[in-house]
Amino acid sequence: MVKDQGYLKEKASFCIDLAKKLGATDATAIVKHSISETVNFRNRRLDESDRSDSLGVSLTTYIGKKKSCISSSNLSEDNIKTLIERCVETTKITPEDEFNSLPDKDLLATKIKDLNLYDDNHIKNDEKIEYLKEVEEVAFEKKEIVNTETGFSETKSNFILANSDGFINGYKSSSFSASCIAVAKNTNNKMERDYEFTNTCHLHDMVKANKIGSLAAKRTIQKLSPQKIESERISIIFDKRISKGILSVLASAISASSIARGTSFLIDKINEEIFSTSINIYDKPDIVKGLGSRNFDNEGVVSKELKLVDQGVLKNYLIDTYYGKKLNLKSNGRSGGTSNLYFERGSISYNNLLKLNQKTLYITETIGRGSNLVTGDYSIGATGFMLENGVFKYPVSEITIAGNFNDMFKNITLADDLEFKYSTNAPTMLIEGMVVAGK
C-alpha cells in the first residue's frame, strides 16, 4: 500500500518548518510515494516480472530572490535534516534571479474536487500473466504473426505538495496499462510491426485482452509488403494515434518558457488566427478519470479549464510562475504543462473524411523527431497507407512528410471520432497540401 496522506504531510511540514528555522524565507516540499508492478511476456513466455517502490522528497528553498533545489529517497529524520541544511546553505551562495518566487497566494488551490483518479483494486501477478497469455494467444491466431511482446503494469501513487505560504495538499492516483507489440512476416520473409494498448485509472475500464491482441495483429498484418511512392504534394490524414502529436507541438510552442526565451514560432500570436475558424482547442483538468486530470499544478496553483484556441484564434499561453513573471503574466496553473489537452471533435465522420480527396496518404506511424519550434518547420519519417476514393489500397513505407506548422494549422480538417485514450487527444486529422518525399 502507498503511504497515506498523514505520513506524507508530516514529512512535508517538517521540511518546510526546518527550512524556515534555518534561514529560508520561503520553501516548497514535495513528498511522493509510488509502487509499480510490471509483468512482460515475449512469445508466450514470461520475460520479466518486477516491482518498484519509490519514496522520495524534493525540496526548494528561497532566500529572497535566491533559489536552490535538492532531492533524496532517504526520508529518515537525520538525512532530511542534513538535506535541508545543505539546501539552505547552497541557496545562500546562489546568484539572485529577480523572477524567483512562490506563486501568488490568491492563485493557490483551495477546493479539491474528487476526480476519481484512484482505484483500490489490485490485480495479482498471476492475473496479469493470464491477461497477457490471452493477448498473445489471440495475436498468434493469425498465421502471419511470428513474434509478440506484451506487458502489464499497475502503479499506485500518493503525494503531498506543501509550501511556506500554508498550502499543503495532494491526492492518490492509479494507473493500469497493457500493451502488445506484434511482428508479422510475409511469404518473402519481410517483416513489419505494430501495436495496441490500453491505459486507464481504473482496472475495470481497461480494454479486454482479446481486443488488444486482435487489433495489434490486424494492424501489423495490414502493413506487410509496403510500396515506395514518388515524391509529391498531397493531402495527408493522420491516424488518431499520430494526430495528437500536432497538439503536443502546439503545447510546446505556447509554453511560457518558449515564449519568454524567444524560441517559438508563435511569439506575439495571442488573439491572432493561427488555425482555421472551425478549430477549438481545450485544456481541461477536471475530467473525471482523465489521465491528465488534476486540481492544481506543480506549484499548487489551481488548474482551471482553458480554451487555448477559440474558432482558430490563439487565446492563452501555458503559464507558470517563473516565466509568467518574465512575461508580466499571472500563472494559469500550467507549471508542468498541460492536463487533458484536446481538439474539439470535428463535424465530419471518419468515413467521409477518408473520401474528401480522390487520393490521400494515411499516416499510421512517424519516425524520429522532426519539429523545429523556432521556425515551425516539420519534417519526419513516416509509414502508412495510400487511399484512393476513401479505400485503403496498399501500405507505404520509407517516406518523409514535410510542411510548416503556420500553414499546416490553417489547413486542418477534423473528424468527429475524438476519444480520450491519452492525456493529449485528437480525432483523425486531414491536412491539405503537405509534401511527401519518396523514392
Closest CA to 192 of 221, 228, 151: 221
- Output DSSP code: residue 37: E
pLDDT at 40: 96
pLDDT at 180: 98
For the cut 90, the answer to whether the pLDDT of residue 109 exceeds it is yes
pLDDT in tens, 4-34: 999 999 999 999 999 999 999 999 999 999 9
Cα separation, 218 vs 332, in Å, equals: 43
pLDDT at 410: 96
Domains of the chain: 5-222 (3.30.2290.10), 232-437 (no CATH)
pLDDT at 14: 96
pLDDT at 370: 84
Q: How many CA atoms lie within 13 A of 40 on its CB side?
A: 8
Cα separation, 195 vs 214, in Å, equals: 10
Q: How confident is the model at residue 189 (pLDDT cuts 50, 70, 90)?
A: confident
For the cut 80, the answer to whether the pLDDT of residue 439 exceeds it is no
pLDDT at 1: 85
Q: How confident is the model at residue 438 (pLDDT cuts 50, 70, 90)?
A: confident
Cα separation, 409 vs 275, in Å, equals: 5
Torsion of CA 163, 164, 167, 169, to 10 degrees: 40
Q: How confident is the model at residue 369 (pLDDT cuts 50, 70, 90)?
A: confident
pLDDT at 187: 84
Ramachandran bin of 74, using left for φ above 0, alpha for ψ from -120 to 50, beta for the remaining angles: beta
pLDDT at 364: 96
Average pLDDT, the chain: 96
pLDDT at 67: 97
For the cut 80, the answer to whether the pLDDT of residue 61 exceeds it is yes
Does this model's pTM top 0.75? My answer is yes
pLDDT in tens, 382-436: 999 999 999 999 999 999 999 999 999 999 999 999 999 999 999 999 999 899 9
pLDDT at 188: 85
Residue by residue, DSSP assigns 43-99 as: TTEEEEEEEEEEEEEEEEEEETTEEEEEEES---HHHHHHHHHHHHHHHHTSPP-TT
pLDDT at 421: 93
pLDDT at 7: 96
pLDDT at 368: 83
With a pLDDT cut of 70, the percent of the chain lying above it is 100
Q: How many of the other CB atoms lie within 10 Å of CB of 227? A: 14
Mean predicted confidence (pLDDT) in 297-315: 98
Cα separation, 151 vs 36, in Å, equals: 13
Q: Which residues contact 244 (CB under 8 A, 6 or more apart)?
A: 422, 424, 425, 426
Q: How confident is the model at residue 119 (pLDDT cuts 50, 70, 90)?
A: very high
Residue by residue, DSSP assigns 300-358 as: SBB---EEEEETTEE---B--HHHHHHHT----S-TT--SSEEEPP-SB-HHHHHTSSS
Mean predicted confidence (pLDDT) in 265-294: 97
CB 291 within 8 A of CB 425: no
Q: How many of the other CB atoms lie within 10 Å of CB of 188? A: 8
